[in-house]
Amino acid sequence: MKNSLDVINPGTHTLIQDAGRYGKHQLGLTTGGPMDARSHSLANLLCHNPISASALEVTLGNLEIEFHADTWVAVTGADNQININGLPQALWQTLPIRFGDRLVLGFPHRGCRNYLAVAGGLIVEEVFGSTATVVREGIGGLDGRTLQQGDQLLLGNRPEGLKPFSIAASDRPTLPEQAELRLLQTCQTEQFTAGVREQFFTNTYSLGTRMDRMGYFLEGTPLDSPPDGIVSEGTCLGAVQITPDGLPIILMRDRPTIGGYSKIGTVLSCDLDVLVQMTAGQRVRFVPTSLTEAQSLLATRRRELRRYTQAAS
Amino acid sequence: MVYFPGEGVLDWIVAADVHIRERLGKILQDTIPSYRSLLVIYHADKIGHTQMLAELRQCLEGVPQGESVLGKLVKLPVYYSAEVGIDLQRIADHTGLDVEQIVELHQGREYRVHALGFAPGFAYLGKLESALHTPRLESPRKTLAAGSVAIADDQTAVYPSVSPGGWNLLGNCPLPMLTAERMPLLRVGDRVRFYSIGRAEFRRMQKQYA
């Protein structure tokens, strides 16, 4: 019998995600992939998987699964409680699993997305080179849909001699009530007058009812006289579009790859990891950043992942 | 983002896209060609920004300009009718044309695929006769039928699958925009011609491809 897990309760919105589907924009496909990429990577590293392995993205918790394998799991992301066979366990560390164990993930206290990785990864057929689920496209994961009760997922072989470890408390996300999102000003920033840009960086926006894997529609005081739209062009992760009514949309993992709204800049991907854990009513501000700072943050992130990759080896 | 100045730059963009992908393959994450631009997304952990810009500039100089890449010609049947083209009246009111004139103008041109995006297989076609230009709806509709043929400003398109959308509907194309393997029928650079079909033919084709 092959190693597998059974979905007893699929939770509110649970998706299979690898690192994302890249190189397929030519076909009009978006990338998908984990909203909180850092937590996804760390969950995989705790299980000695490559960071691109297929894992579960559990939004708003309430997942219950039963394992048909002796293996290891790790749960990262939102502040939440998990138990295995009724016993509370810790997030952010490698946990042993015995054949028949039941794992329950609750509703998050703070934050909203958890990542559950299994040693050896989830074995899912790739579609256009990736297992990332994009519900909007009906592509990836299990027929492009969220998990359902009764689903059975195959598990990879657990590596020999796996050494369990944990992520240092200082390396876990802070899940703030308010966040500053660092914005890289890009080629279209110039289309916004200095006055409008100042207004944009002064405003505080709140997360509203429209925030999903495609984009986060922010609420707040509209900008005066936003620029007209542009000739439709490619969009990237974290791009901040300003709609004709003067409010920002931050483009996320399942974004349309072509867009006709002017973009005031791009939010750094490391700050998106913070944003995607925030919930309706919480507030954000934008602060300008530089390419130098962005590259240095990227290098820090790389060093951190390398450190935990070594911890796993 | 690389912008291409002037009119009629589509072939240049397609050529640049092919060239850049060939030359910079491994450091590229993806590229997105569109009307006037080519978005180049690179792996920031494989190359620094300054060096990437230099590579890109050098690469762009080598693009064979003026060479025509002419994509394939695809002929798409359309059932133009208020039954499926629920915005025909809105388009008529906005443009001052009658429905017959709208249909004549819409099928009277050869379009080029300028970009693919929004949804799998959604091809942005341009450019529309200026007399037909109609702005998007104030707020997009939640669901449109697959095959909906629509216009917005100077663009036209066929919605490949059921989806939300804010463009003005003038008919429906019964031909699937995605193959059984979910590959898009149209690619950037391809040429498209629409031709009018009647209700009976439309229903017959709908059944054939269902």
- pLDDT tens for A30-65 read 999 999 999 999 999 999 999 999 999 999 999 999
Residue B123 has pLDDT above 90, yes or no: yes
Nearest to B79 by CA among B208, B177, B206: B206
Q: Does A186 touch chain B (CB under 8 A)?
A: yes
Interface subset of A 49-108, CB within 8 angstroms of B: none
Distance of alpha carbon A103 from alpha carbon A91, whole angstroms: 12
Residues in B touching A137 (Cβ below 8 Å) = 119-120
**Using omega within 30 degrees of 0 as the cis cutoff, is the peptide bond preceding A163 cis?**
no
The residue with tokens 């796996």 is: A162
Residues in A touching B1 (Cβ below 8 Å) = 186-187, 233-234
Q: Is A125 helix (H, G, I), strand (E, B) or coil?
A: coil
Nearest to A17 by CA among A111, A153, A109, A150: A153
- The answer to whether A266 and A239 are in contact (CB under 8 A) is yes
Q: Does A300 touch chain B (CB under 8 A)?
A: no
- The answer to whether A97 and A42 are in contact (CB under 8 A) is no
The predicted structure's pLDDT at residue B160: 94
Residues of B with CB under 8 A from a CB of A: 1, 3, 28-39, 41, 44-45, 48-49, 115-124, 155, 161, 182-184, 187-188
- The answer to whether B154 and B131 are in contact (CB under 8 A) is no
- Name the residue among B30, B116, B118 with its Cβ closest to that of A23: B30
Confidence of residue B8 (pLDDT cuts 50, 70, 90): confident
The residue with tokens 């398109």 is: B157
Round the average pLDDT of chain B to a whole number and report it: 93
Helices B88-95 and B99-107 pack at an angle, to 10 degrees, of 90
- Name the residue among A27, A257, A295 with its Cβ closest to that of B184: A27
- Name the residue among A128, A137, A232 with its Cβ closest to that of B34: A232
Residues in B touching A258 (Cβ below 8 Å) = 32, 34, 115-118, 124
Residues forming beta bridges with residue B208, ordered by sequence position: none
Region B156-176: mean pLDDT is 94
Q: Annotate chain B with DSSP letters as a single string.
A: -EE--SSS-HHHHHHHHHHHHHHHGGGEEEEEE-SSEEEEEE-TTTS-HHHHHHHHHHHHHTS-TT------EEEEEEB-STTT-TTHHHHHHHH---HHHHHHHHHSS-EEEEEE-SSTT-EEEE---GGG-BPPPSS-EEEE-TTEEEEEBTEEEE--SSEEE-SEEEEE--S-SB-TT--BS--TT-EEEEEE--HHHHHHHHHHH-
From A38's Cα to the closest Cα of chain B, the distance in A is: 15
Six-digit token pair at A20?
Answer: 């994302």
Q: pLDDT tens, A285-310?
A: 999 999 999 999 999 999 999 999 98
Residue B178 has pLDDT above 80, yes or no: yes
The predicted structure's pLDDT at residue A244: 85
The predicted structure's pLDDT at residue B47: 93
The predicted structure's pLDDT at residue B68: 64
Low-confidence ranges of chain A (pLDDT < 70): 1
Residues in A touching B3 (Cβ below 8 Å) = 187
DSSP state of A134: B
